[in-house]
Amino acid sequence: MKRLGMVAIAGLSLLATNVWAAIKSEPVNYEYEGTKLTGYLYYDDAVTEKRPGVMVVHEWWGLNDYAKKRAEMLAELGYVAFAADMYGDGHVTDKPDQAREWMTAATSDVDAWRGTALAGLEQLKKSDKVDASKLAAVGYCFGGGTILQMAYSGTSDVKGVVSFHGSLPSAPDGTEINTKILAFHGNADAMVPPDTVNKFKEQLEKTGANWEFASFGGARHAFTNPDAGKYGIENLQYNETADKRSWQGMQDFFKEIFQ
């Protein structure tokens, strides 16, 4: 009878843990060269020890609900995730022309582009919930290009970056890359043509970087976003298989780099 009581108490304790544990989010205000930025930190409040941190960089639409959802999903996997803001001033849109304008402005100065990304990484790095020796970054579309530029900056703070249907900017000659790179690409992505893909690979090979590239047949741009089709752009299309396989590939990659 005593044993049954102990089992019951243990069961209640487990139930209480499940009830009270939750993914929390909190805004983080910061700035880069006078631009006010607001990112969001996501974490499981049931975990007390420090854990690896992952920065998430949004698509060209701005820091919208999709980017935040990915950060939340990372927190559910046990990481502290920071959804970084690359535009500032609450810039979020569903209009392609406006998104293109903001992205063009953000990428026109490569040093500022990298600097804004690194400012977001710094917010993640200094969280008291994060093991600052275990950092990574993921990015979607424009965000994929952003985390690649961060890797090209030579930073040694980040163990690995993962690009999902990213713009695939090529590394300049002579670039020193100190972080592992994993890129997932849709083979039917008209926004990132074969010439761009080939140049991306060639330059990484020249630098001697540790990199991997995976291409999904039939997948178009934004293949991880279930809402990709709502923007009225033919090349934007969700692909469930590519989404699931790339997400699993990211998890395997993190297990490797965070050993």
Q: Would you say residue 18 lies in a domain?
A: no
For 234, phi then psi, to 5°, come to: -60, -35
| Domains contained in the chain, number | 1
Note the pLDDT tens digit of each residue in 158-169.
999 999 999 999
CA distances from 217 to 116, 132, 214, 244, 247 (A): 33, 37, 10, 14, 16
Note the pLDDT tens digit of each residue in 2-32.
343 434 334 434 334 444 569 999 999 999 9
CA distances from 66 to 58, 79, 88, 144, 225 (A): 8, 18, 17, 14, 7
Q: Would you say residue 159 lies in a domain?
A: yes
Question: What is the domain range of residue 73?
Answer: 23-257
What distance lies between CA 148 and its chain's CA centroid? Answer: 11
Q: Would you say residue 16 lies in a domain?
A: no
C-alpha torsion 83→201→133→17, nearest 10: 50
Q: Would you say residue 3 lies in a domain?
A: no
Q: Would you say residue 10 lies in a domain?
A: no
Q: Would you say residue 1 lies in a domain?
A: no
Instruction: Note whether 137 and 52 are within 8 A (CB).
Output: no
Quick one: pLDDT at residue 21? 62
Q: In CATH, what number is assigned to the domain containing residue 145?
A: 3.40.50.1820
Quick one: pLDDT at residue 88? 96
Q: Would you say residue 101 lies in a domain?
A: yes
| Interval 248-258 mean pLDDT | 98
Q: Would you say residue 6 lies in a domain?
A: no
Structure tokens at 121: 């990484």
